[in-house]
Amino acid sequence: MTRHHRRRVRRPLSLALLLLAVTALVAPTSATAAALPYQDPTLPVATRVADLLSRMTLDEKIGQMTQAERGSVTNADLTTYRLGSILSGGGSAPSPNTATGWADMYDGFQRAALATPLAIPMIYGVDAVHGHNNVYGATIFPHNIGLGATRDPALVQQIGQAVAEEVSGTGIDWDFAPCLCVARNDRWGRTYESFGETPDIPSSMTTFVTGLQGATLGGPTSVLATAKHYLGDGGTTGGDDQGDTALSEADLRAIHLPPFQAAIQRSVGSVMISYSSWNGVKLHGNAYLINTLLKGELGFTGFVVSDWNGIDQIDGASGFTAAEVTAAINAGIDMVMVPTAWKTFVSTLRAEVQNGHVALSRIDDANRRILTKKFELGLFERPYTDRSLTPTVGDAAHRALARQAVRESQVLLKNSGGVLPLARDNNKIFVAGKNADNIGNQSGGWTISWQGSSGNITPGTSVLQGIRAAVGPTSTVTYNQRGTGIDASYRAAIAVVGETPYAEGQGDRTGSMSLDRDDLRTISTLRKAGVPVIVVLASGRPLDVAAELPNWNALLASWLPGTEGAGVADVLFGGYAPTGKLPMTWMNSVSQQPINAGDGQVPLFPQGYGLTW
């Protein structure tokens, strides 16, 4: 890259250079007197922002609006291009993938950011969507669909606080969560990222924002939250991920907007734009919904970030053009997640400003929003990892909280003859199913890798391990994934079945939503032994089970519980009476999709349904 001649504005050259030389040499930390107003934490944030902005070149301002992926940028790049933000895409981790490894990586990038003339700290974003899920050994909480089933906003706030501690312990200061999508079609691959199919449940769960950020930004574990994906991501036709939401404005506002209003009332610091379209217009270029509605009518004062290469989709062709950059920025996007082509983005935006297509006032507005959050987070005073928090990653207290969340998320849908709860003592239990002893399957997508994966992918307790720990010494538990070996001597059989991990569009189900053949075969094997069969469904959404349900003695919707599978056993063996309520209507047939509360269709189980004892 050729070094660009920078135009300084508003200060005589000699004074500016002198000030800068002093700053660069003695960029003060909290331990030394502040050399310049923006470095003085005793001044109001707005004053600090104004002072800093007045010192910034166009390139420095464009750098603040650029977010690159960690794998596509070196420390030197960060310094040279004045980049304002780094992200880890799903599963993008340092080696070793440990909490300390993450903290060391973060601090390395931050040192590079502070080596710039104005020493503006970078902000690092990750998808900690059900715990700090990229980090090996972190606590993995139930995905949002299970948290919606708890109907417990206070619990979700505690989870936000716990996630903030683990995220802060690795240096990271920005979480692309919570997803406040209102999932209207269970075919959608991101249904499990939704707290519920009606806006009241996601709105109530914006307590996660307060848990993550604190009552105000800047506390020792304060992490910037992100309300996503604005707007209507869960309302696409056919549940097509990144598809088109065909709704009147009144219905768009009624169904999809309330959770964002609730998050803004909780001072959410950022909003991420949806890949989807509204009536054929891509959200990433929608000035009415971003500028007029979000920033104007709703008064959102944080900053707006694009989704991963989201601006590329505005014109429907691959890659981004100058016109798309201009459309996105002028629509109100303040920071662009441009994971790899960030150099092209920087040069394109610079040219679009210099040719007048993007006003400098828009660039300044975006910078004010971004810098305000960086100041409020305390990044200028405390730019590096607080290592005292690193041991919280995966600690016992967080796992206990996750186990409680698993308990409260279980929804009991059938319990013929009161077969549940099972006796802990003097019992003989057979356990089967592909999801019985599989941390990866019970955690789902966004776990260690973007798509998640089956297997023993991170420390935790499988459902089977939870069952073994729940029974007393006079009971036996036998496990065989396919059910081989069961006979009439067993008192009950538990089949833990459902889905294997997926994320985003790769989880869209356009055909059958039934159990797969292996699961059906396993359950059939258990039934033939003539013992009561309890089905535990570990899935990211309701499945089409009406035809098989009469043959099951009990059905427990377990959703995607995460690492603390013992919480499922707590319900099965009576340690916790089930309190979960369906966050989504449960179809009677896949032909009913989309099926939602109040749409006049007759479901197998309505939203809000859940048994107890």
- Minimum distance of ligand GLC from residue 190's CB (angstroms): 8
- Rounded to whole angstroms, the Cα distance separating 518 from 438 reads 15
Q: CA 382, CA 374: separation in Å to the nearest integer?
A: 11
Task: Provide, rounded to whole angstroms, the least separation between the CB of residue 226 and ligand GLC.
Answer: 7
Min. distance of Cβ 89 from ligand GLC in angstroms?
5
**Residue type, position 446, single letter:** W
Contacts to ligand GLC from residues 371-430, by CB under 6 A: none
Pairing of strands 281-282, 277-278: antiparallel
Q: Which is nearer to ligand GLC, 125 or 378 (CB)?
A: 125
To ligand GLC, the closest distance from the beta carbon of 451 in angstroms equals 11
Extract the runs of DSSP E, i.e. beta strands, from 70-222: 85-87, 123-126, 174-175
Contact 118, 56 (CB under 8 A): yes
- Which residue reads 């299970």 in tokens? 146
Q: Binding pattern to ligand GLC, positions 176-215, x when CB under 6 A?
A: x---------------------------------------
Residue closer to ligand GLC, measured from CB, 87 or 379:
87
Which is nearer to ligand GLC, 141 or 586 (by Cβ)? 141
Question: Using the rule CB under 6 A, which residue among 127, 244, 312, 570 binds ligand GLC?
Answer: 127
- Minimum CB separation of residue 338 from ligand GLC in Å reads 12
Beta bridge partners of 449: 447
Q: Which is nearer to ligand GLC, 228 or 295 (CB)?
A: 228
Torsion angles phi and psi, residue 21, rounded to 5: -60, -45
> Contact with ligand GLC (CB under 6 A): which of 63, 90, 532, 562?
90
- CB nearer to ligand GLC: pick between 176 and 552: 176
Distance CA 338, CA 602 (A): 45
Question: Which residues on neighbouring strands pair with residue 144, listed in sequence order?
Answer: none
Nearer to ligand GLC, 128 or 431 (CB): 128
Q: Which is nearer to ligand GLC, 307 or 499 (CB)?
A: 307
User: Residue 124's beta-bridge partner residues?
Assistant: 86
Q: Taking the complex as a whole, how short is the minimal distance between the CB of residue 32 and ligand GLC, in angstroms?
A: 37
Rule CB under 6 A: say whether 228 interacts with ligand GLC: yes
Between CA 374 and CA 355 the distance in angstroms is: 29
Cα of first residue to Cα of last residue in the chain, in angstroms, is 68
* Spatial contact of 143 and 128, defined as CB atoms under 8 Å apart: no
Establish if 244 lies at the interface with ligand GLC (CB under 6 A).
no
Catalytic residue among 186, 307, 312, 519: 307
> How deeply is 564 buried, as exposed, middle or buried, from its count of CB atoms within 10 A (0-12, 13-18, 19+)?
buried
* Residue with Cβ nearer ligand GLC (306 or 442): 306
Q: Using CA atoms, how far apart are residues 266 and 210, in angstroms rounded to an integer?
A: 7
Per CB under 6 A, 532 contacts ligand GLC: no
Is residue 269 a contact residue for ligand GLC (CB under 6 A)?
no
Rounded to a whole number of angstroms, the minimum distance from the CB of residue 607 to ligand GLC is 24
CA dist 421 → 254, 417, 432, 532 (Å) = 40, 11, 18, 12
Which DSSP helix (H) or strand (E) runs through 414?
strand 411-415
Provide, rounded to whole angstroms, the least separation between the CB of residue 230 and ligand GLC.
11
User: Least distance to ligand GLC from the beta carbon of 340, Å?
Assistant: 13
- Computed on alpha carbons and rounded to an integer, the radius of gyration of the chain in Å comes to 25
Whether residue 534 contacts residue 212, with contact meaning beta carbons closer than 8 Å, is answered with no
Nearer to ligand GLC, 90 or 137 (CB): 90
> Alpha helices of 34-98 — where are they, by DSSP H?
45-55, 58-64, 75-80
The most distant pair of C-alpha atoms in the chain lies apart, rounded to whole Å, by 91
Residues contacting 145, CB < 8 A, separation 6+: 191, 192, 193, 194, 195, 196, 540, 541, 559, 560, 583, 584
Q: Both tokens of residue 255?
A: 């169904």
Q: Mark whether 544 is an active-site residue.
A: no
Q: Does 141 bind ligand GLC (CB under 6 A)?
A: no
Of 28, 37, 41, 89, the one binding ligand GLC (CB under 6 A) is: 89
Contacts to ligand GLC from residues 161-180, by CB under 6 A: 176
CA–CA distances in Å: residue 509 to residues 363, 499, 536, 605: 41, 11, 21, 20
Task: Note whether 307 binds ligand GLC by CB under 6 A.
Answer: yes
Judge contact between 398 and 165, C-beta under 8 A.
yes
d(CA 271, CA 257): 12
Please say which residue, 89 or 238, places its beta carbon nearer to ligand GLC: 89
Q: Which of 308, 345, 375, 490 binds ligand GLC (CB under 6 A)?
A: 308
Question: How many angstroms from the chain centroid is the CA of residue 283?
Answer: 19
- Does residue 99 contact residue 458 with C-beta atoms inside 8 Å? no
Residue 306 Cβ vs ligand GLC, minimum distance, rounded to whole Å = 9
The Cβ of residue 415 has, within 10 Å, a number of other Cβ atoms equal to 18
Query: Contacts with ligand GLC: how many residues (CB under 6 A)?
Result: 7
What is d(CA 553, CA 418) in angstroms, rounded to the nearest whole number?
9
Minimum distance from residue 194 beta carbon to ligand GLC (Å): 12
- In angstroms, the CA 544 to CA 595 distance is 12
Residue whose C-alpha is closest to residue 346's, from 362, 332, 365, 325: 325
User: By the criterion CB under 6 A, which residues form the site for ligand GLC?
Assistant: 89-90, 127, 176, 228, 307-308
Which residues have a catalytic role annotated? 307
